[in-house]
Structure 1
């Protein structure tokens, strides 16, 4: 072979090598991750399937309810990946579409990405429907390629999933996230709750709320068979919920409304036998043609009158934490439904927005006089933020803490539990908290909005702490004004106070930071002036970490932000009097 031919052959081989597409690795989520199906409550009993009720209740519910419980409405798979292309293939148990609801809603899936700052983004995929349904999400891009994003894959609303696999290029990561141990919001309802007639799963109102409020949701919508039956209330009572939403009126209109009063009162009593969880009763959302059809109006208003009668009776009994949502609060108009009964995507969005307002009122997530801070997760640092949050929820359930420290990496790197690979102040921590039951709720890179999210999502629930120390704000210095930071810390204090009314709250001023000394001093002065002394104690540790001229003492920090061992020792000396006071 002459030199020319040799070079041409070599170039062809090299070009062919580069043109070979990456091989796809396919993974079955049911096999890869225990408790990996989100929105599924009885995971210990429903292993290896995408269904909503366990086999043991088969004999307790009607066949129609049971068959609908095989649908995967409200179920999702959460995973982390940095793949430029994600493929999903699966099979379903029933027909692909309805006359009024497309295949993408009945049998399709929906993918959303969460970036490193907690922002949610929809992903568009190319799809084909047949015996095997296939979705391909191509040209996915990332702010940080190595870290990737967290993905949320919603499953079909009105079909059962027989099998499912997710594929990514073999050199990319695919790591599944187990379901949260946070208490869920439980929705018991009709076809509207199940998802009819959303164009795709992510547009069902329950999934919108799950995505935007980020509370786990158990969807027990059973199409035309959500009818306030006692067997279903017994099943609901098995769930240790954050909130029960009872939304069955669209199935009990007209003559069927005769059962509403008794079934509602008895159902609430069943729930109250086991739980003090808030309960939201929801009126019929109405028919969007009722102004041209008086019989339609009479039928749904009759149902709503019976529900209101039951609600008033329960309130008169003294049942606590029971709430009511009216047809007017849901607020659908003539353009919000597909055929006058089931919401379109526009109606689903309106459902979600107005339900969210009500849920926030009930859970006190909107009573903090909302500032610029929208609660959200984050994954800016190299540790697993979500794993640390879940670990804290589990630890709090196993052993209730007496003292909490809520903060960012400054608190995170100090010491204590949950343990962490970086510990810069172990001796100071151990001496300060010797013999005390303490939990470290510090998260590296957390901002005010991230701490607010953690408070809303269970880190202060289910126990009564004696003392809570709050040290937040330094990570907001580059993106927020002084006034915004002060208002945000006040918002955190109010959120803490509602969930821990008996705890003594200590707000620590922002620590000195290289190049930001004057600004931090101004923020701390504003905090001290505006925080109410009868509600909390302000603690300023800046003097002990600064030079006589007021500027940061760099010898007490590792990098101009994080204290070293001596810095933590000095912090402990200041905090000792507060930790030990009665």
Structure 2
């Protein structure tokens, strides 16, 4: 009976595995491991420093750089179930940090409106670690799949990993994002101690909110502002450097700390003009009951702030400071004397993100129209993130003289990057291309989606002569007039911040079938707001109306999008100013 039992077991096991398709991120044609520096060197391994660093940094720093803290893998999948299996090289947990944080993974999904959702996964820890996810949330677009982010272990080294979906389902890895990263150099807290799971490290919480790549170079007990590490950091063309090393600077006098901090900033400034943020020691849980602990971190903070003042007097530009008082960690926000709990990580992330948004000029309002967010409402037509990356690449290749920002009405007009369809090729080529316009329209975009794109560099790195904004029609059915007006005002401020020399024209929302009266009233308000903002307003859509104030359906393909003749009528008014 035993041979028969074994045969039956093997057959069942084989059948179960045959029902799953497994994907290995290290066996892709292009790098897909996010939040790494030096992707060309290490983009298919789960480490944080390139091999040449082994001879340039201390052995313990090199060893810690093998941990995958901050790394993530993004993918699309329409699977109702997802499995992750992998092995690690180190101990699964620590006395003050659970296996789920030290060695676990964490998965989030985004719905079609860009809202992020935590995905709980059952798990088992052993020689091979396994996570199991059931995706039961339904939406109209679920058959086309969600966008997933899988965050890797904070304090362990991943040897190999596979992501599995049922054989009838699909999984597509998202290539490494090409936007400039934030680079964090810090301590065990920066690395993620003592978060209960990877996505609860303060740096990852902030990364999920800002949605910039963030390279985590936190080295437990060994973030010491060392020249060897800083040399590698300066190789990265970052949008911001964060130095959070004070807790690991031991046995130094005030003059020594001042010199260490100043030398670190000067070393970065030798090659980079990127903003630098210095962060105070966040303090200790027992500072109120142990005066020696209070005095130790307070003196470090005093010393670093004196270094900051000295740098300012020297004329060093674009350096910023986040104080202990601004961090303001709650008394219950610790696991031990210095490492935050998830509660503390949340508080620290909020404080640092607030400062980062001030530095990078990324304000967020209280309305949905003033909150930057991605979307994926038309994956059957195009991939929103892929188009964003294509636009960034095109702007680097061919500097835009003029830009038009919008939704599908713009996207499907014409020009490059090529959209899924072109409804007005002739007028685009004769009018818009002649004026040098780049098409930055995205199908089904709303005001808040354009805000995200502006915050993510679509108007950065060049000086445009003209910018046309034609957005808002997809907000009409879900937002009040006031929300739309304030969203457009907020958006114009973001545009002006990045393109101060450009002439800016706002096109009134084009008329829509059965919405003509509402849109006419709304455009009157938009006109008044635009005038106060010292921009140009044009109601190009009047050319698409009949004498009865209703749309001329012969000028539309579907009651919303103009056809070739409709685009021909509105193109001159939009392009010329």
What TM-score, normalized by structure 2, do the two folds share? 0.94
Residue 105 of structure 1 is aligned with which of 85, 101, 106?
101
Cα distance, 1:96 vs structure 2? 0.7
Q: How many residues align?
A: 560
Q: Quick check: 253-262 or 322-331, which moved more?
A: 253-262
Cα distance, 1:435 vs structure 2? 4.4
Cα distance, 1:262 vs structure 2? 1.4
- How far apart are the structure 2 equivalents of 1:534 and 1:387? 33
Q: Please name the residue that 1:5 is paired with.
A: none
SS of the equivalent of 2:39 reads coil
Q: Please name the residue that 2:8 is paired with.
A: none
Cα distance, 1:210 vs structure 2? 1.2
SS of the equivalent of 1:79 reads strand
- How far apart are the structure 2 equivalents of 1:60 and 1:404? 45
Cα distance, 1:403 vs structure 2? 0.5
Cα distance, 1:140 vs structure 2? 3.6
Q: Please name the residue that 2:121 is paired with.
A: 125
Q: Please name the residue that 1:37 is paired with.
A: 33
CA 1:244–1:478: 2 relative to 1, 3 Å: same
Unmatched tracts of structure 2, length 5 or more: 1-11
- How far apart are the structure 1 equivalents of 2:576 and 2:396? 29
- How far apart are the structure 2 equivalents of 1:187 and 1:21? 41
Report if the CA contact (8 A) 1:228-1:260 is conserved.
no
Cα distance, 1:362 vs structure 2? 1.0
Q: Please name the residue that 2:88 is paired with.
A: 92
- How far apart are the structure 2 equivalents of 1:541 and 1:362? 37
Alignment of 1:380-529 (within 5 A): 380-381=377-378, 382=380, 383-529=382-528
Cα distance, 1:504 vs structure 2? 0.8
Q: Quick check: 78-87 or 426-435, which moved more?
A: 426-435
- How far apart are the structure 2 equivalents of 1:348 and 1:293? 23
Q: Quick check: 521-530 or 542-551, which moved more?
A: 542-551
Cα distance, 1:126 vs structure 2? 1.3
SS of the equivalent of 2:576 reads helix
Cα distance, 1:270 vs structure 2? 2.0
CA 1:327–1:429: 2 relative to 1, 3 Å: same
For residues 224-244 of structure 1, give each alpha carbon's deviation from its aligned partner in whole angstroms, at most 9, with x where no partner exists. Answer: 111011122211111111111
- How far apart are the structure 1 equivalents of 2:250 and 2:330? 19
Report if the CA contact (8 A) 2:89-2:158 is conserved.
yes
Q: Please name the residue that 1:215 is paired with.
A: 212
For residues 500-536 of structure 1, give each alpha carbon's deviation from its aligned partner in whole angstroms, at most 9, with x where no partner exists. Answer: 1111111110001111111111111111112246631
Q: Please name the residue that 2:66 is paired with.
A: 70
Report if the CA contact (8 A) 2:403-2:438 is conserved.
yes
For residues 293-316 of structure 1, give each alpha carbon's deviation from its aligned partner in whole angstroms, at most 9, with x where no partner exists. Answer: 111011001111111011111111
Residue 146 of structure 2 is aligned with which of 149, 157, 161?
149
Report if the CA contact (8 A) 1:411-1:443 is conserved.
yes
Cα distance, 1:330 vs structure 2? 0.9
Q: Please name the residue that 2:50 is paired with.
A: 54
Cα distance, 1:421 vs structure 2? 2.8
- How far apart are the structure 2 equivalents of 1:138 and 1:552? 47
Cα distance, 1:380 vs structure 2? 0.4
Q: Please name the residue that 2:166 is paired with.
A: 169
Report if the CA contact (8 A) 2:32-2:43 is conserved.
no
Cα distance, 1:369 vs structure 2? 5.3
Q: Please name the residue that 1:244 is paired with.
A: 241
